Amino acid sequence: MDASAARPFEGGTAQQMKRLLVLAFVSAIVATSCGSLGVLGGPSIKVGLVTDVGGLNDKSFNALANQGRLDAQSQLSVTTSVTESKKQEDYVPNLTTYAQQSYDLVIGVGFLMTNSVWKVAKQFPNVKFAIIDGAPANDKGDTENLPNVANLFFKEQEAGYLVGVIAGLMAKNKVGKATHNTVCSMGGIPIPPVDRYIAGYQDAVKTVNPSATILNGYSNDFVDQAKGKEVGLNHISKNCDILFQVAGGSGLGYIAAAKEKGVYAIGVDADQKDAAPGTVITSALKRVNKAVFDTVKAVKDGKFTAGDNFFSAANDGVGYGTLDPVVPSDIKSAADQALADIKSGKIKPKDTVQVKG
């Protein structure tokens, strides 16, 4: 079985090498199975993370989820591992493999996996699952909650609101290069998590700076930087001097446009200050790492909750990232005040986009 792929190629030296390889494989299998016996003794739980096709180096979603996994591994002494999905075809088998190996918790990253998690979770009622940014969806595409699946959602509008306060006040006070009182944003595809960010952002700008001009656009893509840049240059030509991107990789092009034209940008999901230092004034943070960590901890403590779990300002699930030195301290105080007000429930950022175009 082990060398079946090579079997029909029978040849002198090849055959000998094959025998050697088989021998090596067999001894290795024996060696690894002995090694894993030691791990089985511990009381700790096992957690498997399955990335979407973005992979571990996306500097965003998957990378943050993996960070949460590593934090959980070191701080909660649980056993974890990660599988990168290369194709959409891989989601179901990757989730299934963890479930078959009796993992206690299997986490799927991203809304692309809603149907795959539904499929697999139904087959393994004793394994707990979690989806970042999604709820299990049946084959018809309808949400169908399962008793063993936690849906990890974020209140993106709160993160959007915080950076909106910063952008709105920067424009109002004409800080640095923000001279046109025009703030803009660009989404990838108009799906709910993207639009919630933009809704909160616009809500804040309208609140702190009602006279500001607000523009919004979509790159219709989450990967292609060129498309993001095109929207960015278009926005800048219409006097935008603060550009908030909600478009993953495509948004990096939006930031690049801001850098090229010497205006400001705001990052998303992860702290993107390194994408263009001096251009990125802050980032709207979605702490996927915290969601992963908290879910692992909940499973370990026997407090796992199926169904919708929200990560918001109240539980530090969202926030704003590193501020560039150009942002004055009074604007930072305003953002911190907004954060406190959101936590206390005094401010409830809107979650529907008002300025679409």
Partner 1 sequence: MTATAAPSPTGPATAPSVRQPTSQWAQGPAIPVISVLAALVLGAVFVAISGKNPIEAYAALLLGAFGSPYDISETLVIAVPLTLAGLSVAVAFRTGLFNIGAQGQLLVGALAAGWTGSQFPDLPGVVLLPLTLLSGVLGGAAYGGVAGWLKATRGVNEVITTIMQNYFIVFVMHWLLQDGPMSAPNALGTPASSPIGAGAMLPIIIPNEIVPLSRLHAGILLAVLAVVVFWFLLWRTSLGYELRAVGLGARAAAQAGIDPPRRMVLVMAIAGGFAGLAGMIQVSGLFHRVYDGFSTGFGFDAIAVALLGKNSPVGITLAALLFAAFQRGGTIMQSNASISSHLVDIVEAIVLFVIAAETIVRAIASRRGTPAEAL
Contacting residues toward partner 1, per CB under 8 A? 1-2, 4-6, 8-9, 11, 14, 17, 21, 24-25, 27-29, 31-32, 48, 53, 81-90, 92-94, 96-98, 100, 111-112, 114-115, 123, 134, 137, 139-142, 189, 191-192, 220-221
**Shortest Cβ 62–partner 1 spacing (Å):** 13
In the complex with partner 1, the residue whose CB is nearer, 144 or 341, is: 144
Element counts in the chain: helices (H) and strands (E)? 10, 12
The rounded distance, in Å, linking the Cα atoms of 104 and 270 is 28
308 - beta bridge partners? Answer: 151
The rounded distance, in Å, linking the Cα atoms of 125 and 102 is 11
In the complex with partner 1, the residue whose CB is nearer, 141 or 325, is: 141
**Shortest Cβ 160–partner 1 spacing (Å):** 19
In the complex with partner 1, the residue whose CB is nearer, 100 or 102, is: 100
**Shortest Cβ 220–partner 1 spacing (Å):** 7
**Shortest Cβ 47–partner 1 spacing (Å):** 11
Question: Tokens for 52?
Answer: 């979407």
In the complex with partner 1, the residue whose CB is nearer, 157 or 209, is: 157
**Shortest Cβ 113–partner 1 spacing (Å):** 9
In the complex with partner 1, the residue whose CB is nearer, 191 or 340, is: 191
**Shortest Cβ 5–partner 1 spacing (Å):** 4
The rounded distance, in Å, linking the Cα atoms of 64 and 70 is 10
Residue that has been written with the tokens 């950076």 in this structure? 163
Question: Tokens for 327?
Answer: 């942002």
How crowded is residue 6: how many other Cβ atoms within 10 Å of its Cβ? 14
Question: Tokens for 142?
Answer: 């309808």
Please, are residues 199 and 158 in contact by the beta-carbon 8 Å criterion? no
If you compute the radius of gyration of the chain from its CA atoms, what whole number of angstroms results? 24
Check residue 324 and report its DSSP letter: P
In the complex with partner 1, the residue whose CB is nearer, 13 or 237, is: 13
